[in-house]
Structure formats: structure tokens, C-alpha cells
């Protein structure tokens, strides 16, 4: 698989969907070969809202190795001050900014695919209208967002930071901003965990630790929800309807995604067009996912602690994940075609299409819809506008009134996608 990698507010709507055009996703997950475990009976104590976030520095003393490798991933480098990086960039990466203080400028995006700039002044964060793309390294005008505006409101900027940063309050940007996605976005708040292990050299018994979420011990739906916080939201096909009365920061890894959003999608999927943040949407269309019985999930191919752009990464790493279920003699492609991929006989090259997302610009991402033939099908005008919940099992516990409300809101939001304002 590829390693590509919203706070919801009224008006920010689909967050990782509609606003993904300016929230440039530059994820960098790594690889994982050990299958996750199923442990639906295990309860994590840090799901409680009273448990405090402590920040990545509190993790460093006990988890130095993981923190060190994670520092080079696209997720960790997803948001940072320009002053901290510009000196390391070559000439093509240095933006020409007419501002009186570069410390006000912040970079959103690791540069594995793209970057854009934000300015923080007097508690407001606004996006500059220039973007940098790795495919043709230079700063160029950014694509406009869904409303045709080049600049974002404060609330919309907060929506971008939801998927490109640690926990943040978009209504209070006057303080110090976090710098990139941290451990607690996937493991939950660490206050209880730090308190338990503070002042001890005990390395533990190897038994599950209830004070911090280990996604590998979660059942499939909750495990996928950790990634779906940000990697479920195709800007042309999915609507993430916020739960009434709940803020995004109320979500805790280990809980269902429907704790804070209820996602809907068009039943008719686009054959080739896909959005920057649609990895989850597209993966769930794959037979490999639907027929694997939970054996295939994000962690099958991605280790979020290690950069997939590491120079020592084996070329055939992702191919090996495919061969855990498939045999090479089952491939019907001509031998010459198989030899011409890079690396040779690469499953990904033939079964996961690599192209520009429809909502970003000149940046190549991998479509996570795993298909037998990626050269079949073309995108035409949508014929069906029927919608369905992305995670139908999750809305079964909602009241009839709540289901009706979220369906109406999804219908309104998806209608706006197909009939944008002039």
C-alpha cells in the first residue's frame, strides 16, 4: 500500500472531506508485518474525558526509540514553524514571503507530497495562497477551496489542524501551537499512563496496560477508527456529519468513530477519482478488505512509528504484505508486464492506482481501492445520487430521530458537493 497520508464546526462541514483541498495531507506511515490482536473485552482507562493530555515530550524518556523514529514520519512533520525548517530546505523549498516576522509563518505538510503556509497573527491563523509540490518542486498558487476562496476563516484553519496536529482548540489560537501529530492522537491522553510509570524503572510484565490505548489490542472497528479520524473523508463522495453537542476533541482512540462524526457516502463509487484523505473510503471498497474477515487493516501495511520514506526500506516491503494472502502463481499478468514494474513483479503497481487526487493539485497519491484491473473504468457524470452510511453498524445504536437527522444533514452536504455554489 501507499504511505500517503477536520475540529468540526458548523460551516466546516465535512472537515477532512470538503476542506481537504487546503488541508494538504502529507502522511508518512511505515510498515507492519505482525497482525493486530483482537481483544474486545479489554478496557482502557484513559478513555475517560477527565484524563489529561501530556504531550509527546512526556513520552520521550521511556519510549526514546519510538519517539526518535517517529520524528521523521510525515505525521510528526505535518505542522511546524517555518523558522525551524527553512534553513534546511534547498532553494526550491524556500518561499518568498513579504512578512515582517518569519516566526509568524507555519508550514502545514511534511513535503513528502506537498506543503502550504499559514500565518499566525493576533490569535488568528490564515492560509497563504502558495503551495509547494514534491512532484515539481516549487511554490505555486494553491488550488482554491470549495468556496473559491484563497484564505480560510479561523474555524476552517482549525479544521485543517485537526488532521495535521496534536489536540488543539481552534477557538483559542493565541497560545503556543503544537507542532505536528503526536503520540496521543492514536494512543489517547497519557496523563494516567505517565502517573502510573513515573519514578519507576519497572519495564512491566508484558501484560496489557489499561492506562494507555494500544490500537493493536482494539477490535477491528475501533482500531480502524483511530486512522479514520483523518483518513476517512473523500471530498467528492463522503460527508462526515458531526454529532450534535459533541466536539471533535471529545473523541478518544478506542471509541467508535460515531462518537463524534457519522460518515455517509454515495452508494455509486467513482471508478478513478479519489480524494487526498480518502484512504479509508477506498480501502473499504476493496475485496481484500471486505473478504479478509478483519485480517487486512491499516496496520497490515503501515507502521505509523517509522517513516516509509526511509532510504533503507526494502523495495518489496508492500508486495510481501500481499503475499501473506496471495500466491505469485495466481497472477495472470504476462511475465513481461510483471518484470517492468518497479520493483519487478510489484503487486501495488498493478492493483493500486497512483494518480493526482481530485482535490489537491500536482501531487501523486496511491488510491487505496485495491482492484484486479486499475486500467478499467472511467469517471463520468454520476448517475446515482443515493447515499448510505459508511459504517452502518455504528449508527444502529442511535435513536430513530438521530439517524434521520444525520441522514438529512448528509444529504444536504453531499448535495452541496454535486451542486457547488457559482
For 201-217, how does the pLDDT look when each residue is reduced to its tens digit (9 = 90+)? 776 667 889 999 999 99
Residue 142 — pLDDT band, cuts 50, 70, 90? confident
pLDDT, tens digit (0-9, with 9 covering 90-100), for 40-56: 456 899 999 899 999 99
- Distance, CA of 370 to CA of 374 (rounded, Å): 8
DSSP type of residue 6: -
- Does residue 12 surpass a pLDDT of 50? no
Most confident of 38-47, 171-180, 347-356: 347-356
Q: Taking residues 183-188, what's their average pLDDT?
A: 96
Angle subtended at Cα 273 by Cα 166 and Cα 161, rounded to the nearest 5 degrees: 15
- CA pair distance 409, 405, nearest whole angstrom: 6
Q: What is the DSSP string of 183-214?
A: THHHH---HHHHHHHTT------SS--TTS--
Does the pLDDT value for residue 222 go beyond 70? yes
pLDDT of 101: 67
Whether 5 has a pLDDT exceeding 80, the answer reads: no
Half-sphere exposure for 108 (CA within 13 Å, toward CB): 30
Averaged pLDDT, 77-89: 87
Q: How far apart are CA 42 and CA 212, in angstroms?
A: 12
- Spatial distance between the Cα atoms of 378 and 22, rounded to a whole number of angstroms: 26
d(CA 190, CA 142): 37
Cα 135 from chain centroid (whole Å): 20
Is residue 156 very low, low, confident or very high in pLDDT (cuts 50, 70, 90)?
Answer: low
How many H helices and E strands in the chain? 13, 10
Q: Look at residue 258 in the predicted model and tell me its pLDDT.
A: 92
CA distance 86 to 103: 11
Given a contact cutoff of 8 angstroms between Cβ atoms, the answer to whether 358 and 276 are in contact is no
Q: How far is CA 380 from CA 28, 273, 325, 366, 383, in A?
A: 32, 10, 33, 21, 8
| pLDDT, the chain, mean | 83
* Neighbouring residues of 118: CB distance < 8 A, sequence distance ≥ 6: 105, 106, 107, 108, 125, 126, 127, 128, 157
Q: What sign does the CA torsion over 211, 212, 216, 221 have? A: positive
How many CB atoms sit inside 10 A of residue 156's CB? 28
Inform me whether the pLDDT recorded for 367 exceeds 90: yes
pLDDT(239) > 70: yes
Tens-digit pLDDT profile for residues 281-337: 999 999 999 999 889 999 999 999 999 888 888 888 899 999 988 988 889 899 999
Q: What is the CA radius of gyration of the chain?
A: 21
The alpha carbon of 35 is separated from its chain's Cα centroid by a whole number of angstroms, namely: 21
Averaged pLDDT for residues 262-289: 94
Per-residue pLDDT, averaged over 62-72, amounts to 95
Residue 404 and residue 398: Cα distance in Å, rounded? Answer: 10
Confidence of residue 24 (pLDDT cuts 50, 70, 90): very low
Which residues make Cβ contacts (< 8 Å) with residue 319, sequence separation at least 6? 343, 345, 346, 347, 348
| pLDDT band for position 107 (cuts 50, 70, 90) | very high
Write down the residue that cell numbers 501531487 correspond to. Answer: 363
Residue 384 is given by DSSP the state -
Q: In this predicted model, which residue has the larger pLDDT, 258 or 38?
A: 258
Strands laid side by side in the 105-108 sheet: 79-81, 105-108, 114-121, 124-133, 139-141
pLDDT recorded at residue 183: 97
What pLDDT is recorded for position 418? 85
Of the listed ranges 71-80, 173-182, 364-373, the least confidently predicted one is: 173-182
The three three-digit cell numbers of residue 175, written as one number: 497560545
> Contact 366/113 with Cβ under 8 angstroms?
no
Q: Which pTM does this prediction carry?
A: 0.85
Phi, psi (rounded to 5 degrees) for 33:
-110, -20
pLDDT of 32 above 60: no
Amino acid at each position: 500500500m501507499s504511505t500517503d497520508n477536520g475540529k468540526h464546526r458548523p460551516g466546516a462541514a465535512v472537515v477532512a472531506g470538503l476542506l481537504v483541498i487546503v488541508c494538504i495531507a502529507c502522511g508518512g506511515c511505515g510498515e507492519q508485518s505482525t497482525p493486530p490482536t483482537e481483544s474486545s473485552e479489554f478496557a482502557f482507562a484513559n478513555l475517560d474525558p477527565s484524563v489529561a493530555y501530556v504531550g509527546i515530550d512526556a513520552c520521550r524518556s521511556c519510549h526514546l526509540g519510538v519517539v526518535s523514529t517517529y520524528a521523521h514520519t510525515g505525521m510528526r512533520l505535518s505542522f511546524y514553524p517555518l523558522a525551524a525548517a527553512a534553513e534546511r530546505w534547498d532553494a526550491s523549498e524556500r518561499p518568498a514571503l513579504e512578512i515582517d516576522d518569519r516566526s509568524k509563518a507555519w508550514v502545514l505538510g511534511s513535503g513528502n507530497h506537498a506543503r502550504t503556509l499559514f500565518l499566525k497573527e493576533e490569535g488568528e491563523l490564515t492560509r497563504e495562497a502558495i503551495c509547494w509540490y514534491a512532484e515539481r518542486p516549487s511554490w505555486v498558487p494553491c488550488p482554491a477551496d470549495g468556496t473559491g476562496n484563497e484564505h480560510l476563516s479561523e474555524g476552517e484553519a482549525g479544521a485543517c489542524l485537526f488532521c495535521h496536529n496534536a489536540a488543539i482548540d481552534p477557538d483559542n489560537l493565541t497560545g503556543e501551537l503544537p507542532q505536528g501529530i503526536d503520540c496521543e492522537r492514536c494512543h489517547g491522553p497519557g496523563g494516567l499512563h505517565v502517573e502510573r510509570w513515573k519514578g519507576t524503572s519497572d519495564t512491566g510484565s508484558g501484560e496489557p496496560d489499561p492506562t494507555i490505548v494500544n490500537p493493536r489490542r482494539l477490535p477491528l472497528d475501533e482500531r480502524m477508527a483511530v486512522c479514520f479520524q483523518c483518513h476517512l473523508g473523500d471530498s467528492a463522495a463522503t460527508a462526515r456529519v458531526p454529532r450534535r453537542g459533541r466536539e471533535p476533541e471529545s473523541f478518544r482512540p478506542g471509541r467508535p468513530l460515531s462518537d463524534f462524526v457519522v460518515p455517509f457516502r454515495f452508494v455509486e463509487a467513482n471508478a478513478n477519482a479519489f480524494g487526498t484523505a480518502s484512504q479509508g473510503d477506498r480501502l473499504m471498497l476493496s475485496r481484500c478488505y471486505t473478504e479478509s474477515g478483519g485480517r487486512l487493516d491499516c496496520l497490515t501495511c503501515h507502521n505509523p512509528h517509522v517513516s516509509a520514506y526511509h532510504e533503507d526500506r526494502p523495495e518489496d516491503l508492500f508486495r510481501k504484505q500481499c503475499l501473506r494472502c496471495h500466491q505469485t502463481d495466481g497472477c495472470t499478468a504476462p511475465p513481461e508486464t510483471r518484470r517492468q514494474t518497479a520493483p519487478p513483479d510489484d503487486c501495488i503497481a498493478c492493483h493500486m492506482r497512483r494518480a493526482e487526487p481530485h482535490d489537491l493539485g500536482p501531487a501523486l497519491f496511491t488510491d487505496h481501492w485495491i482492484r484486479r484491473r486499475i486500467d478499467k473504468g472511467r469517471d463520468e457524470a454520476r448517475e446515482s445520487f443515493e447515499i448510505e452510511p459508511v459504517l452502518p453498524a455504528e449508527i444502529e445504536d442511535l435513536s430513530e430521530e438521530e439517524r434521520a437527522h444525520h441522514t438529512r444533514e448528509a444529504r444536504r452536504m453531499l448535495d452541496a458537493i454535486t451542486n457547488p455554489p457559482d
